[in-house]
Amino acid sequence: MKILIIGAGGVGTSMATVIKRMGKEIDWAEKVVLADYNFDRAKEVADKICGGGIFVAEKVNARDSANIEEIIKKHEIDMTMNAVEPEFNECIFDTCLKTGSMYMDAAMTLSTPDPDKPFEKANIKLGDYQFDRHEDWKKAGNMALLGMGVEPGMADVFARFADKHLFDEIDEVNVRDGDNYDGEDVGYFGFSVWTTIEECLNPPVVWEKGKGFFCTENFSEPEMFNFPGGIGDVEVINVEHEEVLLVPRVIDCNRVTFKYGVPKETRDMLLYLKDLGLSEKTKKIKVGDSEITPRDFLVKVIPSPVEATMRMEGKGCAGTWVTGTKDGMKRSVYLYQVADNQDCIKKYTTNAVVAQTAVGPVIALELIAKGIWKMEGVYGPESFDPDPFVERLAKYEFPAGIREMDSEYSDHLNEKAFQEAVK
């Protein structure tokens, strides 16, 4: 497979280093083209970090369809991985359909809140633009895989795994993300500044059977969730995220939510930016001889999260908490993956957040290259067989875990284990 990765930032770099670390195991990757608007950065990743070979650098303007098409044709690209901010998604997505390249991203096309009741009614949802073009992709005999990172991505695969193996009926699918990161002067952002502002300040979406998609207030329904890996209790809150829009399309359940641990001081800071108009992403302001949106201005002036997070100690956990019934008993299970920040920096030169995000698409690339995951149209990760993905997590140095939560079924398992031990 010939792969184009658009974006040589954290996720693009991590994907390249994950592929590089696997060595001969990646016999399915014939060429990996790393393309970025900053050609020097793309070349650094391809040549210095990855050592050349199958890795090639290109300069790309992700807003220019003709430029993207030129690169796809030049390198006879089979799969294009969109590893830039989702504001570029429509251009890259449409260009892939036009050229015949398969498409994959880690974050779907952006939402637009309801103009009158933004914290009640869902309007244009994450990924609507892409899913509306499912029949076009199907007719073209091509595939687009949306939301294939860690959350969304790995978390969706965990939901499908639970549906396939662990439950007879599912009640709720609740994605929960938390960490115990600590370090001097690490700032408010551990990931993309632009994306953090987008997902935290948009109205969070919840899905319920019989009610459909609806929105709540920013940072609503706080709860304490105990995370494995020594992380412990973390307060998590509702945030807009793709899993809520993806999971109900495939998995029969009653409710889907996404919550993660945003520190109180970060929440206050984000709401303050919103009140000041500094989170605005469309209206431009004049700065000297140039025009720029307030959010893009913040991206320029806020210290790089990548540099700040290099000093962080601690672990991050991404996972899916599923409740339902098994053998007539109530069951509650948390499937997860824990990554150590300093360990990821040593292995992949990037922090745990982006390293976790990167491993999912690389595994998906292997499964698609080998024809294990194959469908025509536009899909999310939960549409595919989860077993080969979960099996490969350990091989790619990101092993999954499972925690049986307190329930009727866990009591049953404990009693059964005790009876076996007594025999």
pLDDT digits (tens, 9 = 90+) for 187-246: 566 667 888 899 899 999 999 999 999 999 999 999 999 999 999 999 999 999 999 999
- Asked if the structure places residue 34 within a domain, the reply is yes
pLDDT at 112: 95
381: left (phi over 0), alpha (psi -120 to 50) or beta: alpha
CA angle 263, 268, 273 (to 5 degrees): 125
Query: The domain spanning residue 380 has which CATH number?
Result: 3.40.50.720
pLDDT at 159: 98
Strands 169-179 and 285-287 come out as unpaired
Q: Is the same domain home to 198 and 164?
A: yes
Q: Domains in the chain: how many in total? A: 2
pLDDT at 300: 85
- Asked if the structure places residue 416 within a domain, the reply is no
What CA–CA distance (Å, rounded) separates 194 from 89? 14
For residue 340, the SS3 value is strand
pLDDT at 25 over 90: no
What CA–CA distance (Å, rounded) separates 80 from 92? 8
pLDDT tens-place string over residues 107-165: 999 999 999 999 999 999 999 999 999 999 999 999 999 999 999 999 999 999 999 99
Residue with the two structure tokens 């140095």: 397
Residue 204 per-residue DSSP state: P
Query: The domain spanning residue 251 has which CATH number?
Result: 3.30.360.10
pLDDT at 261 over 80: yes
pLDDT at 70 over 90: yes
Question: Between 181 and 176, where is the model more confident?
Answer: 176
**CA nearest 145: which of 182, 102, 116, 184?**
102
Q: Is the same domain home to 40 and 131?
A: yes
What CA–CA distance (Å, rounded) separates 237 from 351? 23
What CA–CA distance (Å, rounded) separates 298 from 296? 5
Look up residue 404 and give its two tokens.
Answer: 């049986």
Q: Is the same domain home to 238 and 359?
A: no
Q: Is the same domain home to 383 and 299?
A: no
Q: How confident is the model at residue 290 (pLDDT cuts 50, 70, 90)?
A: confident
- Asked if the structure places residue 406 within a domain, the reply is yes
Per-residue pLDDT averaged across 10-34, rounded? 92
What CA–CA distance (Å, rounded) separates 378 from 376? 7
- Asked if the structure places residue 418 within a domain, the reply is no
- Asked if the structure places residue 423 within a domain, the reply is no
The alpha carbon torsion through 146, 148, 152, 154 (nearest 10 deg) reads 140
pLDDT tens-place string over residues 305-344: 667 777 788 999 999 999 999 999 999 999 999 999 999 9
pLDDT tens-place string over residues 400-422: 999 999 999 999 999 988 888 88
Q: Is the same domain home to 192 and 145?
A: no
pLDDT tens-place string over residues 149-167: 999 999 999 999 999 999 9
Q: Is the same domain home to 217 and 136?
A: no
Mean pLDDT score across all residues of the chain = 93
- Asked if the structure places residue 42 within a domain, the reply is yes
Q: Is the same domain home to 303 and 362?
A: no
Q: Is the same domain home to 237 and 211?
A: yes
Per-residue pLDDT averaged across 73-101, rounded? 97
Q: Is the same domain home to 61 and 195?
A: no
Domain enclosing residue 69, as ranges:
2-113+126-149+353-395
Q: Is the same domain home to 169 and 94?
A: no
pLDDT at 186: 53
pLDDT at 238: 97
Cβ-contact 193, 281 below 8 angstroms: no
Residue 177 per-residue DSSP state: E
- Asked if the structure places residue 121 within a domain, the reply is no
Q: Is the same domain home to 205 and 263?
A: yes
pLDDT at 312: 83
pLDDT tens-place string over residues 343-352: 999 988 888 8
**CA nearest 306: which of 14, 1, 36, 109?**
14
What CA–CA distance (Å, rounded) separates 408 from 415? 11
Look up residue 369 and give its two tokens.
Answer: 């290259």
Q: Is the same domain home to 253 and 388?
A: no
Q: Is the peptide bond before 113 cis (omega within 30 degrees of 0)?
A: no
Task: Give φ, ψ of 200 to 5 degrees.
Answer: -80, -30
pLDDT at 306: 67
Predicted TM-score (pTM) above 0.75: yes
Look up residue 172 and give its two tokens.
Answer: 């709720």
